[in-house]
Structure 1
Amino acid sequence: MRTETTDVLIVGAGPAGSVAAAFLRRQGRSVMMLEREQFPRFSIGESLLPQSMEYIEAAGLLRDVVEAGFQYKNGAAFAWGERRTEFDFRDKFSTGWGTTYQVQRARFDEVLAHGARRLGADLRFRHEVTAMTPHPESPGVTARSPEGEDYAVQARFVLDASGFGRTLPRLLALEQPSNFPARGAIFTHVEDRIPVGEFDREKILITVHPEHVDVWFWLIPFSNGRCSLGVVARTDYLAQFEGSEMERLQAIVAGVPSLSTLLRDAAWGVMPVRQIVGYASNVKSLWGPGFALLGNAGEFLDPVFSSGVTIAFKSAQLATDAIARTYAGEAVDWEAEYAKPLRDGVDTFRAFVEAWYAGTFQNIIFHPDPPVDVRNKICSILAGYAWDKSNPYVADTKRRLGVLEELCAPR
């Protein structure tokens, strides 16, 4: 079996892998990216957060994204029965980008991957990693080409950016259950045909079910007149609805007057309706001898605040910074310098997700007269700035969120 060598091998060419590859190429490292699928391919996670733009810009991929023609996004709107509220991300507490895009992930991921290739990464589609041998200085993998040929790759580092494929967690028995209850999502794209003026296409719309506070819907407008539409709920709730996936989703949407009215003229069937169940995941460790797990390959919380791509980019930045320090001759503590700072931000998102499903976060964001400074600090986290510890709701998330929950609780 032939053996190839590279400085860094990246498993997967999704957002985490492509941004990591771009960062590494800017460091002068040789990079090989092995992607199991052929791009373009469908993926969910279509509404970006402004924080993600900082990583795209720093990686040298900003022009690629800006010129792709995606839907401009400046915030998030929320609906719950007759109540409405919205956050303009430009009004956030943290400094940095306040706008971003809503993207068809097939196109977005392809743009990033080809941007990494433009910067010099060796990008190979339909190459699958089938085995991995950890080693602190020379980890190795076995890969299989589209023609079925097995070959070995020896690297200085391996970064797993395989997303929900979770390649290294499977191969190295690192997977462990998430502590979140089992939820599922049913979703599709529709040609929405929403009349001008009825819908702000520059914001994602999150709609809370009028009777079930833990059931919610996303509506993500794209630049081509279509929307991504999905519902997230406990699996026992979704199981109540019968028929095809499309019939089930249509029936669930019909139970929410504001959303069904908005989509009254929508054309369905432009894309198959899909379902995923039990998507929350976790691992025993985010790193090991010669490897690290990026983005969803390590942990996935929940889609409610669109944090997945931002977490993926943050993990790519932290891991490649650690690699740069290693090549500079420094001793790197991967737990202290990669895993812990990454999890700090993830835990901020986690607290918000837990409050959302408890129904207490809804009381906060729909409060009729919130203090502007508090609202701007919450807005920062919704915009993805979950690592900005100058924000007290990042530095002390659970306690401060708990105080807000008590103050905003119905009397």
Structure 2
Amino acid sequence: MNRPSPDYDVIIIGAGPAGSLASSLLVQQGYSALVIEKETFPRFSIGESLLPQSMIYLEEAKMLKAVEEAAESLGFQYKNGAAFIANDQYSDFNFSEKFSAGPGHTYQVKRAHFDQLLANEAENQGADFKFGCLLTSLQLEPEPVLTIQTEKGISEQLTARFILDASGFARVLPRLLDLSQPSDFPVRSSVFCHIKDNISDTDYDRNKILIETHPELDDVWFWLIPFSDGTSSLGCVAKPEYFEQLTTADTPEALLDQAIAETSRFQTLLASSTKTSDTRQVTGFSSNVKQLYGRNFALLGNAGEFLDPIFSSGVTIAFKSAKLATDILNKQFTNQPYCWQTEFAEPLQQGVNTFKAFVNSWYQGDFQNIIHFKDAPTEVREMICSILAGYAWDKDNPFVQQPERRLQVVGGLCAS
């Protein structure tokens, strides 16, 4: 007996960047895709500083033009690099001066607007979206069957050939399938908000994300992500113990204020700033999973592994995973040879491991020594710049081939 045709070729959980990009790539290949999202857009999300590598995937999904055309009206800030401050020592990297080929600029975006824009574009291309829907049950075999509940409490059952989990920090399938496992990173906490920055300093470069290290604690750092409308995203990342010792602060807002008061550059730069959003705190954001794919499912972006926000790698990894997964699904659906391990998990993990090595090196101090070493050879700075720009899959870059060893050696030379 022939089974009835599924409702969709692919159902995607989550309408963030990975979900929208995956749905776009699928419908362009002629497949039906549904994205289910528990929240109603637009909604706030962190992860606002994109990397130039992301522009390649946006262009392939035919979304880049829409992003560029909407940039000014939505407050997206042109971004051409990254700047770092430690004990008043300033160092910056221009993405145009990188080792790898590819775009040398991107945007810093308000995710509420950015995610809504991508979802709208994917929907215009033919993907279906259901917002305000909660996944209540899931069956993966023999074919995926999902039960969702709308905001009005109405239940609906849907079938598909495959499930992609792009649920981000919600990590829907890892929770349902018991795939979560502890991250390799220590538990860290972040406090953050949006501000009207009122920055008047003419030396401040709004085209770059600015990272400042605490003057006494190398593993405590602060971000300032400017937008083109005069607002910025402001945050601090540290182990929970750091925030606990800020004894006069008992709310996220007070924690952030007191932490900023311990900086050198930020407190001066933001002396006239005012908050435009609630201050939020997130603890234990790093995550890992036992596997990235299985029978009739795969995990995209943060639903799989999230490292740390220091190098803004989240959206780039999300886009890369969506691209890899949709390419394999096309092979799978057209009866071509395919392998999720060698064509998805391993190549995705290669770039993740590169970012991971850089994150570890940052907190160990080697990478901080490298970026603030004034006499670093030009070719080394260009290779480092490529990773900061998101080109963590460029195997021609020696810092992709052997990231841990090279960072340790170069970091030691820069410290001596």
Q: TM-score range by the shorter chain?
A: over 0.9
- Say whether the 8 Å CA contact 1:184–1:278 is kept in structure 2: yes
- Residue type of the partner of 1:26? Q
Aligned to 1:334: 340
TM value normalised by structure 1: 0.97
- Residue type of the partner of 1:385? Y
Aligned to 2:287: 281
- Say whether the 8 Å CA contact 2:366–2:407 is kept in structure 1: no
Aligned to 2:181: 176
- Say whether the 8 Å CA contact 2:211–2:224 is kept in structure 1: yes
**What is the CA–CA distance in structure 2 between the aligned matches of 1:172 and 1:245, rounded to whole Å?**
33
**What is the CA–CA distance in structure 1 between the aligned matches of 2:282 and 2:88, rounded to whole Å?**
30
What whole-Å deviation, never above 9, does each CA across 1:35-63 have from its counterpart, x for those lacking one?
11000000000000000000000011111
Q: Secondary structure at the match of 2:203?
A: coil
**What is the CA–CA distance in structure 2 between the aligned matches of 1:176 and 1:161, rounded to whole Å?**
18
- Say whether the 8 Å CA contact 1:134–1:288 is kept in structure 2: no
Of residues 231, 234, 237, the one that matches 1:229 is: 234
Of residues 334, 340, 343, the one that matches 2:349 is: 343
Aligned to 1:393: 399
Aligned to 2:69: 67
TM-superposed deviation, 1:399: 1.7
**What is the CA–CA distance in structure 2 between the aligned matches of 1:245 and 1:140, rounded to whole Å?**
41
Aligned to 2:151: 146
The equivalences for 1:5-404 within 5 A come to 5-69=7-71, 70-135=76-141, 138-241=143-246, 242-268=249-275, 270-404=276-410
What whole-Å deviation, never above 9, does each CA across 1:130-172 have from its counterpart, x for those lacking one?
222223x622222112221222211111000000111111111
- Residue type of the partner of 2:261? A
Q: Secondary structure at the match of 1:91?
A: coil
TM-superposed deviation, 1:406: 1.9
Q: Secondary structure at the match of 1:279?
A: coil
**What is the CA–CA distance in structure 1 between the aligned matches of 2:407 and 2:29, rounded to whole Å?**
39
- Say whether the 8 Å CA contact 2:6–2:161 is kept in structure 1: no
Q: Secondary structure at the match of 2:309?
A: coil
TM-superposed deviation, 1:27: 0.4
- Say whether the 8 Å CA contact 2:13–2:37 is kept in structure 1: yes
- Residue type of the partner of 2:95? F
- Say whether the 8 Å CA contact 2:187–2:283 is kept in structure 1: yes
**What is the CA–CA distance in structure 2 between the aligned matches of 1:259 and 1:48, rounded to whole Å?**
21
Aligned positions, number: 407
What whole-Å deviation, never above 9, does each CA across 1:362-406 have from its counterpart, x for those lacking one?
001100201001110110000000001011111121121121122
**What is the CA–CA distance in structure 2 between the aligned matches of 1:276 and 1:4, rounded to whole Å?**
39
**What is the CA–CA distance in structure 2 between the aligned matches of 1:214 and 1:317, rounded to whole Å?**
33
**What is the CA–CA distance in structure 2 between the aligned matches of 1:244 and 1:168, rounded to whole Å?**
32
TM-superposed deviation, 1:4: 6.5
More displaced 10-residue stretch of structure 1: 391-400 or 40-49: 391-400
Q: Secondary structure at the match of 2:12?
A: strand
- Say whether the 8 Å CA contact 1:282–1:299 is kept in structure 2: yes
**What is the CA–CA distance in structure 2 between the aligned matches of 1:248 and 1:198, rounded to whole Å?**
28
Q: Secondary structure at the match of 1:304?
A: helix
- Say whether the 8 Å CA contact 1:8–1:32 is kept in structure 2: yes
- Residue type of the partner of 1:5? D
**What is the CA–CA distance in structure 2 between the aligned matches of 1:284 and 1:99, rounded to whole Å?**
35
Alignment root-mean-square deviation, CA: 1.3
TM-superposed deviation, 1:331: 2.9
**What is the CA–CA distance in structure 1 between the aligned matches of 2:35 and 2:379, rounded to whole Å?**
44
- Residue type of the partner of 1:368? K
What whole-Å deviation, never above 9, does each CA across 1:70-100 have from its counterpart, x for those lacking one?
1100000000012110000011110011100
- Residue type of the partner of 1:316? A
Q: Secondary structure at the match of 2:242?
A: helix
**What is the CA–CA distance in structure 1 between the aligned matches of 2:61 and 2:368, rounded to whole Å?**
35
- Say whether the 8 Å CA contact 1:132–1:168 is kept in structure 2: no
Q: Secondary structure at the match of 1:207?
A: strand
**What is the CA–CA distance in structure 2 between the aligned matches of 1:285 and 1:336, rounded to whole Å?**
13
More displaced 10-residue stretch of structure 1: 146-155 or 256-265: 146-155
- Say whether the 8 Å CA contact 2:88–2:264 is kept in structure 1: no
Percent of aligned pairs with the same amino acid: 53
Q: Which portions of structure 1, spanning 4 or more consecutive aligned residues, are displaced by more than 3 angstroms?
A: none
- Say whether the 8 Å CA contact 2:78–2:107 is kept in structure 1: yes
